[in-house]
Amino acid sequence: MSENSKPTPERPPSIDQIARAISDLGLPHPLLVDAARDAVNRSVGNDVLEEARKIGESISRRLISDVINATGVLLHTNLGRAPLNIGNRDEAFRFSNLELDLETGERGSRHDKTSKLIARSCGAESALVVNNCASAVLLVIAALAQNRGVAVSRSELVEIGGGFRIPEIIEQSGAKLIEVGTTNRTRRKDFEKAVNKNEVSLVLKVHQSNYRIVGFTETTEISEMKDLGIPLLADIGSGLLDAACPWLDDGPPKWLIGEPAARQSLESGADIVTFSGDKLFGGPQAGIIAGKTELIDLCMQHPLSRAFRPGNLIMSVLQEVTLSYLEREGSSIPFWKMATTSVDELFDRAKNIEPKFATKTFATPGGGTLPGVEIPSAGLHLEGNHVEFFRQQDPPIICRMDDDQTVIDLMTVHPTDDVLIDKAIKTIL
């Protein structure tokens, strides 16, 4: 090589080469290409392959995936609320009879299957499933009170998670909000006055699921409003089917005392109840409307009913959960199995993982239900903040901080995942 000749600079790898070099991340090739392009744009002074791998890993972690809930929050909204156990299918693909009547071979209704089971399980004449509880309330009000008044106690004008407020839901339904009573005290005569003025065609009672008003208070119970002459809608929110919990061998746990249930609300005089499918019901995200047949029929006939209807997967999982209720097998519903595990069993599991870190803790219901309620539990605690370390594991372990300690609450951890908790702790040690 002559003195004047210069070495030819090495050509950087192509986008495709970079993408193929990180293919072990398991992402589809188009996403690997995106990572490679971003890496080339960012990698000033950095190894482009290393940068591409970091970006690809970040893309993977932004996808929906399984995590271990070690927070002790039973219905953690960020983690999908109620845990689900969807049975594994074989490799053959399957359709379902979602809207097929197998008896006649004719087109059927999706409401003739799962919805009827839900109605049976809570003692209602009929039921309807929509995509969440907010849409359930909106649909009922739109179907029963459009262009007319809805009477609500001022103490129950709540904000549902995500910023949805009862006044806004009523406005979107096309109905008119009629506020009755005061913030702290509402009596039957307040509702009577609104009804006598012909201002309202529906009374709405909303469960104060995520807050409490204490002190000089008075509220009007469902039984006091059942004969006002207009339909009564009770939004109980959390989805407890029956206060007696007949699906549990030992009856209702103490932390459920005072929580309204669908069966008892209907028996007390509510014409319709609405509640969530992914809270105390223990199913997927859904909104359930249950009550008198003629009112449910009006909801089904409303145009919003089709806009709000869930699909095959939701209806199938709801059916599976509801059958467990009817068979009184609470242990086959992941939420109830988790929520009724004894503290002794949890503490034994904690000691098996690492005895010196075993501790008693308190879990919480979460999901906007039973505010302030603590459920005795057990788990492990580590000095210092290790939350990010646990979150970076595969699968991610989501835990909490409490008084400068990292707390792993085992009530919300499946026993088969204890080995993963153990492995992560040993890494720290």
Residue recorded with tokens 């995200």: 285
- Residue 297: which H helix or E strand, with range? helix 293-301
**Residue whose token pair is 């002790």:** 72
Residues contacting residue 185 through CB under 8 Å, at least 6 positions apart:
155, 216, 217, 218, 219
Q: Which residues lie closer than 8 Å to 203 by C-beta, 6 or more apart? A: 150, 151, 152, 191, 195, 225, 228, 230, 231, 232, 233
Q: Which residue has the tokens 């909801």?
A: 299
- Residues ≥6 apart with Cβ < 8 Å to 223: 268, 269
Residue 214's pLDDT is 78
Element (H, E) at 359: strand 358-366
First to last CA, the chain: 57
> What are the Cα distances from residue 266, in Å, to 122, 226, 243, 270?
9, 10, 12, 5
Contact present, 201 and 172 (Cβ < 8 Å): no
Instruction: Give the tens place of pLDDT for each residue, 292-309.
Output: 999 999 999 999 999 999
What pairs with residue 178 in β-bridges?
151
Q: What is the mean pLDDT of the segment spanning 165-177?
A: 91
* Amino acid letter, residue 31: L
The pTM assigned to this predicted structure is 0.89
**Predicted local confidence at residue 86, as pLDDT:** 63
Least confident of 34-48, 68-82, 189-203, 353-367: 34-48
Structure tokens at 350: 């904690």
For residue 404, what pLDDT band results from cuts at 50, 70 and 90? very high
User: Would you state the pLDDT for residue 85?
Assistant: 75
Query: Percent of the chain, pLDDT > 70?
Result: 93
Q: Is the pLDDT of residue 220 over 70?
A: yes
Cβ proximity of 357 and 382 under 8 Å: yes
| Cα(179)–Cα(144) distance, integer angstroms | 18
Q: Which helix (H) or strand (E) holds 308?
A: helix 303-308
Place of tokens 């028996």: 267
Instruction: Give pLDDT tens digits for 314-361.
Output: 999 999 999 999 999 999 999 999 999 999 999 999 999 999 999 999
| Digit-coded pLDDT (tens) for 105-142 | 888 888 888 999 999 999 999 999 999 999 999 999 99
Tell which residue, 346, 345, 317, 341, has the closest CA to residue 330: 341
Residue 32, pLDDT above cutoff 80: yes
Look at the alpha carbons of 246, 374, 277, 270 in this order and tell me if their dihedral is positive or negative: positive
Q: Is the pLDDT of residue 425 over 60?
A: yes
Written as one string, the DSSP assignment of 78-138 is GGTSS---PPPP-SS-----TTB-TTTSSB--GGGTHHHHHHHHHT-SEEEEES-HHHHHH
Is residue 126 within 8 Å of 133, Cβ to Cβ?
no
Whether 208 and 251 have beta carbons less than 8 Å apart is answered as: no
Mean pLDDT of 156-170: 81
Return the HEC string of 7-72: CCCCCCCCHHHHHHHCHHHCCCHHHHHHHHHHHHHHCCCCCHHHHHHHHHHHHHHCCCCCCEECCC
Q: Report which DSSP code applies to 185.
A: B
The per-residue pLDDT of the chain, averaged, comes to: 90
Per-residue model confidence (pLDDT) at position 323: 95
- Asked if 337 and 331 count as a contact pair (C-beta separation under 8 A), the reply is yes
Please, which pLDDT band fits residue 87 given cuts at 50, 70 and 90? low
Q: 253 pLDDT exceeds 90? A: yes
Mean pLDDT of 261-267: 97
Bridge-partner residues for 151, per DSSP? 178, 203
